[in-house]
Chain A
Amino acid sequence: MDIHEERKDGFLVLGLEGRLDAVSSKMFEEKVLALIDGGERRIVIDLSRLDYVSSAGLRVFLVASKRLTPAGGKVVLCSVQEPVKQVFDIVGFYSIFSILNSKDEALDSLR
């Protein structure tokens, strides 16, 4: 999996591409936690190019959000594609995360 990092309007956008599984989620978790420790508080995670997620990956979204919420921060997810969407549905992610249709909507929601 590749992680594309970009800064847009002052917010951090992480674009995930490929497979987020037990192997790649370790790298992703280290990356996200290092960013949070470095002071990032509002993070958009763009899933438009993520074509696979397992529970190991879902766990990282939960960990990041649990770390940021008490600090007054927020993780927003956007552009979820079909196979991943089904997984999000099953585990009830739509009721606990802000999940928006596009990166622009995600950024607007943080303003």
Chain B
Amino acid sequence: MSEVIAVELKNQLSEIERLARIVDDFGRRHQIEPQIIYTMKLALDEILTNIISYAYDDAKEHIIVIRLSLDQEKWTVEVEDDGRPFNPLNAPEPDTKQLLGERPIGGLGIHLVRKLIDELEYRRQNDRNILVMRLKVKGA
């Protein structure tokens, strides 16, 4: 069974929870394991929070496009935005061994995405950031 859906989000943090419900529905419809659905929702949350909070130099409305698709082995989710170029694959790794006092407060979101997602790809295309995240699924 294959299904591709596209969702358009506004650059508002409240949109993330709306997307989470769509991702839940998609995952359940395709019998994806709850743990995998959770992981995808969290990764999307981190990426979108970053985009909405830091990607735009103006206060205008922007549209972020999310595409979800599934094949035999992988669940693929693409995030496309028209914000400033940002490649999460190149972001510096936080030192998670550091003690509290010396530990910087930011940088954990992208770290989580890199740890949680099986395959991560980034490209800049037509002045847009396109991030592709893939998770392995069992016999979808």
Question: A-side interface residues toward B, CB under 8 Å?
Answer: 19, 21-23, 52, 54-56, 58-59, 62-63, 65-66, 69, 83, 87, 90-92, 95-97
Contacts and interface: CB of A to CB of B under 8 A. Distances in A.
B38 A23 contact: no
B136 to A, nearest CB: 16
Q: Which of B17, B35, B108 is most buried by chain A, counting CB atoms within 10 A of its CB? A: B108
B17 A91 contact: no
A54 B45 contact: yes
Contacts, number: 70
Contact of B116 (A58, A62, A90, A96): A90
B17 A21 contact: yes
Nearest to B95: A92
A54 B108 CA distance: 9
B2 interface: no
A95 B95 CA distance: 12
A59 to B, nearest CB: 6
Nearest to A65: B100
B17 A63 contact: no
Interface string B101-122: 1010110110110011000000
Interface residues of B, number: 29
A21 B103 CA distance: 21
A65 B100 CA distance: 8
B111 to A, nearest CB: 7
B13 A23 contact: yes
B97 interface: yes
Contacts of A97: 100
B100 A56 contact: no
A43 B17 CA distance: 29
B17 to A, nearest CB: 7
Given A22-B13, A62-B103, A66-B105, A55 B46 contact: yes
B13 A62 contact: no
Contacts of B100: 62, 65-66, 69, 96-97
Nearest to B48: A22
30 contacts: A21-B16, A21-B49, A22-B45, A22-B53, A23-B14, A23-B16, A23-B17, A52-B38, A52-B42, A54-B45, A54-B46, A54-B49, A55-B108, A56-B49, A59-B105, A62-B103, A66-B101, A66-B105, A69-B101, A90-B96, A90-B116, A91-B96, A91-B108, A91-B111, A91-B112, A92-B97, A95-B97, A95-B99, A96-B98, A96-B100
